[in-house]
Amino acid sequence: MSWTILNPATTKAELQQPFAEQDFAYCQDLSEALLKAPQSRDFPDLIALGFWLRQANLKPLLAPYKSSHFIRQPLGLVFHSAPANVDSLFVYSGILSLLCGNKNVIRLSSRSGGSTGVLIEKIRALTEIFPTQNARFQLVQCSYDSAELKSLINTVDGRVLWGSDQAIQAQRQLMMPAHARELSFGHKFSLCLLGAEAALAADNEQLQQLVQLFYRDQLTFAQQGCSSAKAVLWLGEAAQVQQAQQRFWPALTELIEQKQPLNSSEQYQALATAQQLIMSSEQQLMLTQQQSISRVAVNTLEPVFIDQHQGCGLFLELQLSHLAQLNPMLTQAHQTLTVWGIESNVLQNWLMTAHTGIDRVMPVGQALSFSPDWDGVNLIEQFSRKVQCSF
C-alpha cells in the first residue's frame, strides 16, 4: 500500500503551547459535527466520541495538568499506529497529543470500518476553519514497509503503537531516534465482576439497567474492544451464582434479540472459538448457547484463553467464593475490570493484594470510557515535556 494522506494539510504543521484555546475549539467543532451527522446514528462509538470531544468534558479533564511548578511543553512529532478493532480509538490518543501541542501523524488500518470513513469526512471538513489543527492531525494509510513511514519514524519524538502483540513487535523493527518515547498498547483481556447476591436482590428495573450497561460495554464493538469483558466473574456461593445466572442471561439475551448486534459470521466465530478453547484447555469445559450468546463455564482463567478468545458474543464464566481466588490467575494481559454489585470496601481491600494485572476498575457501563490514564500509563505526561523552573 502506497503512502496516502487522507486529510491533506493546507499549511505547515507547527508545535503549539499545550492546552491552547484554538485546539479546544477544534475539538468542539469536531464534536458538534459528529453528534449532528445522521450517519453517526449507526455507529455508537461516534456518539460516544462526540460527547467526549466537547470542551465541557475536555477542559475539566485536563485542568489538573496545568501547574505553576514547571512549564509544560509539547513532546514534538508523535506517530500513532491505530488498531483495526475499534475504529474511533485513534482519535482519543491523537486528540490528547494534539492538545499537548504536538504534531501528529496517525496511521489508519486498511481494515478500518464504516465509522472511520465518517470520521475522515468530518475531520477533512474542518481544514478550512482549522488549517493548523488539521496539519497537526494528519491521517495516513500505508504498509509497514513503506519508505515514507520508515523516513517518518526516523524523525519522531514519540510513537504510540496499538494492536496485536505481533503487530507491535513488527512495528518496533522500524528504528526511531534514541530520545524518542514509545507507548505500546498490545493485546488485552478484560473482565466483568458481578455480585450474585446483588443480582438476586435487584428488582426488574435494576436488572434491566444492569443488562443495558453490560450490553453497552461488551457488544458495542462485538467484544472487540480491549476493555470489553471476555470473562464474567460471579462473586458468591455456587447456589447463589446459579440463581443469579438464571436471572441475568435471559434478560440479556432478550435485549440482544431486540438489538441484534451480532451477525451470523460473528456468531459462527464465537462458536468456533468456544470449540477451540474446549479442545485446548486442561479443564472439562461445557458450552451453553442462548440465542446469539455463547457461554463456557470454567474453573480457572488459563493463559490459552487470552491468546485464543476472539469475542463476538462468547463469555467465559467463573464462580468465585472470595476475590483472592482470582489473584494467581491474573497476568499483565488483564486490563479492565468492570464491577457491579460489590461493596467498595471489599473491592478496595482486594485490589491492595492484586499486584499483577488490572489497570482499570470501572463501574459496569463505563468500560469503553476513555481517560488520560490508559493501561497504567498517563498519556498527558507522556505526550509532553516538563521544563523545571527553579528560579
Which of 246, 249, 192, 248 minimizes the C-alpha distance to 223? Answer: 192
221 pLDDT band, cuts 50/70/90, is: confident
C-alpha cell at 26: 477544534
Q: DSSP assignment, residue 193?
A: E
- Is the pLDDT at 182 greater than 90, yes or no? yes
**Which region holds residue 375: left if phi is over 0, alpha if psi is between -120 and 50, else beta?**
left
Q: Is the pLDDT of residue 112 over 70?
A: no
pLDDT on residue 257? 86
User: Residue 125: is its pLDDT beyond 70?
Assistant: yes
Average pLDDT, stretch 92-113?
91
pLDDT of residue 11: 94
Give the model's confidence band at 259: pLDDT under 50 very low, under 70 low, under 90 confident, else very high. Answer: confident
pLDDT of residue 87: 65
On whether the CB atoms of residues 202 and 210 are closer than 8 A, the answer is yes
Contacts of 223 (CB under 8 A, 6+ apart): 229, 230, 311, 312, 313, 314
> What is the pLDDT, as a whole number, of residue 247?
97
Distance (Å) of CA 76 to CA 53, 65, 301:
22, 18, 42
pLDDT of residue 228: 94
Q: Percentage of residues in the chain with pLDDT exceeding 90?
A: 71
Q: Is the pLDDT of residue 1 over 70?
A: no
Model confidence at 284: pLDDT above 90? no
pTM: 0.88
258 against 159, higher pLDDT: 159
Mean pLDDT of the chain: 92
pLDDT of 291? 78
Helix spans in the chain (H): 21-36, 44-52, 55-62, 89-99, 114-124, 131-135, 147-153, 165-171, 196-201, 204-219, 238-259, 264-280, 303-308, 344-351, 379-382
pLDDT band at 227; cut points 50, 70, 90: very high
Query: What tens digit of pLDDT does each residue of 32-86 get?
Result: 999 999 999 888 889 999 999 999 999 999 999 987 788 999 999 999 998 876 7
E strands, 128-205, are 137-141, 158-162, 181-185, 189-195
Q: What is residue 23's predicted lDDT score, i.e. its pLDDT?
A: 98
Residue 229's pLDDT is what? 97
Give the model confidence (pLDDT) of 322-377 as tens digits: 999 999 999 999 999 999 999 999 999 999 999 988 999 999 999 988 889 998 89
279 three-state secondary structure? helix
DSSP notation for 11-23: S------TT-HHH
Dihedral angle of Cα 349, 353, 355, 358, to the nearest 10 degrees: -40
DSSP H stretches of helix in 37-69:
44-52, 55-62
Name residues whose C-beta falls within 8 Å of residue 67's C-beta, 6 or more positions apart in sequence. Answer: none
Question: Quick one: average pLDDT of 235-259?
Answer: 95
**Cell output for 58:** 475536555
As a whole number, mean pLDDT of residues 304-330 equals: 93
